[in-house]
Structure 1
Amino acid sequence: MFFGHALLLATALCLLLSGCQEAKSSPPIHPVVKTMRISLDMGAANRSYPGVIVARHETQESFRVGGRIEKRSVDVGDHVREGQILATLDEKDLRLSMESAQAERNAAVSNKDQAITEERRYATLLSKNVVSQSEYDLKHLSAEEARARLEKADRSLKLATSQLGYARLVSSNDGVVTKVSAEAGQVVSQGQSVVTVARKGALEVLVDIPERNIQDIKEKPAETSLWSNSDVRYRATLREISPSADPATRTYAVRYALPDADSSVRLGMTATLHLSEPASLQTARIPASAMFNQGKGPGIWSVDPQSGELKFRSVTVDRYSERDAFVHGQLANGDIIVTSGVQKLDEGMRVRLADAPQGDVR
């Protein structure tokens, strides 16, 4: 009986020892990670601002007299020529004013003729000593007053005639209608904008730039791309900076001329202004997913190409793009860094590259 128990105990001990031996001899597990080789570059630091394509010259056409709009002849997008009628006012009141001025002029003409006739008659009588000098002087003054009233009536008639002509709003230059601010039947005042016409010719991109960056834009090379075709870029030249910031957004309206714009650049298109300047440090462009922060500042995992061991490298972020970050710091050309799953790794851990053979630690 005792011999049987001893045999069982010995067998169990052997199995236990063999299991421990197998555990000790099993190879270590190295996680598979995605990596990339970095390249340091003295690239340009880019800043982008959204904007819109506008005409360099826009005219807000308005009537020179007030009244009720009888007809509007154009709409947004219409091409117009210089002198083309854009809208007309109801002419009834203006025509009555002109007819009244004409009647006043006719009366002034009759009054002047009568006054001149009286002056000449009294001049004849004065030469024969029939009337006194003072009586003649009164007739002379009446004639001069009649002449002045006729001159005033002439000018009033010209003004009334001009105002009747102002009932037609005409385009001051060739262009395209970009905005309509009044409709038929609406009563508008003198100088109130009715139609906005963008003059044909130079195009510009209008952007809003924050006040903290406004001092740095004058010497920076600029390019513009369209949202509809971001692969094509057009040279942009700074033309105008607003003298004051918008009180709500604290941004400055800035206009860049587009001297190389072609037919694909149209008014109202969404555009992006790209400003660039030479970088002072060599930077590496890496995926944002390669960065992490464990309380020591931003950093990345660098992989030793021989042993696969991870080392923490501290970096400084220069700027961000849509998905990537431009960094500099403890980096060298050709370094291999981990690009995903960085939060699950530790210092000194050995890993395998995703594209390395199964037996290769790298």
Structure 2
Amino acid sequence: MRLRSLFLCAAVASLSYVPFSYAQTDVFTVNLTLGSRGAQVTALQQALNRDPDTRVAANGPGSPGNETDYFGPLTQAAVIKFQEKYASEVLVPVGLLQGSGYVGPYTRTKLDALAASKTAVPVATSTATTSTATSTPADPAAAYRIKDYEKTDIYAGDKMLQAIQDRINSAVETTILTRGATPLVLPTISASDYPSVSIKSMSPRAAPARATVSITAAGLSPDSTIYFGNDYIVRALHRDLLGNTSFTVPAIPPGRYDVAVRSGGAISNTLSFIISDPKAPAVRLQSVSPATITFGAAVTVTGSGFSPQNNVVMTTYQTIRDLPSKDGTTLSFTIAPDNYKALAKVGNGSTKIPVTLSVVSDYGFSANTLSFDLSI
């Protein structure tokens, strides 16, 4: 009788858990979203149905034993529950606070990890209370560090745009240097010469970690990612019901970053973005000298809030990057915009071209602009 009682207790205990396992690991090899079809959608529904917290449906299509190969609203809702259940591993690394229903790299990794470890999940209530401790990473930036397979040239889009400008400048220069003897024939520029994804704007352009930033861009796709320099990446964009797109500022060191979007293998142009620090000084411009500058000559800008490295001077016709400032109050550089090189060669210095400049440092964008004349 005692043996029978022990057997019954063991049997009841075994019914409290169903092993979460698959025949193989790395089951989910592609991203899945609303409208997706295929065997991986079926596997996804089966995985979700093994946990009552994330069950696709109680009965009918999508319910346990009735999984389908279609990723519909019920599957999306179940994925959201799954993502929010494992938020520290699935949502936090990409800066999300709520599930999106999109099965991307982090969601797939968690599904595969559960499969590989044959993690047991409860399917029946118990009087015992199980608590799951969520640990905070010692280094919050670790979740945003670029992995080897994610590395890319974030300036590829800028290089494509520069190549177009170089071709135009070359054609114009030939005509100018021959003083019109060679007719101006502009090169043929096709759509394929431009990056297939481009950033138009971000708002705001400076914000603290975990803030929400709106982004306007062309060529975005569900797998679009945002690069912050060569070291960090945001792996998910948010899109609301009105089609507005945004991202969450990653928890990485404050400072200025060149930001680019990668979409379907294509890289956009870059824009400067500041992850702000409330203790950082404001960037203000005081003066530029000389007031009239010869093409190719040195320029000095004075002000405050310049960072030791990584300053950018943006002028009407030229952007100068990675400028140092030893004292935080001065920047020196030469002004020689490519589109005026030919005119500078044939000019006598009597033509004055107005130029406006602003500065971006690790601390922010300058609150004002300065102007000077370029003499060619």
TM-score range, shorter chain: under 0.3
Q: Which has the higher contact order (CA 8 A, sep 6+)?
A: 1
Normalized per residue, the structure richer in strand is 1
How does the TM-score come out when normalised to structure 1? 0.25
Larger Rg: 1
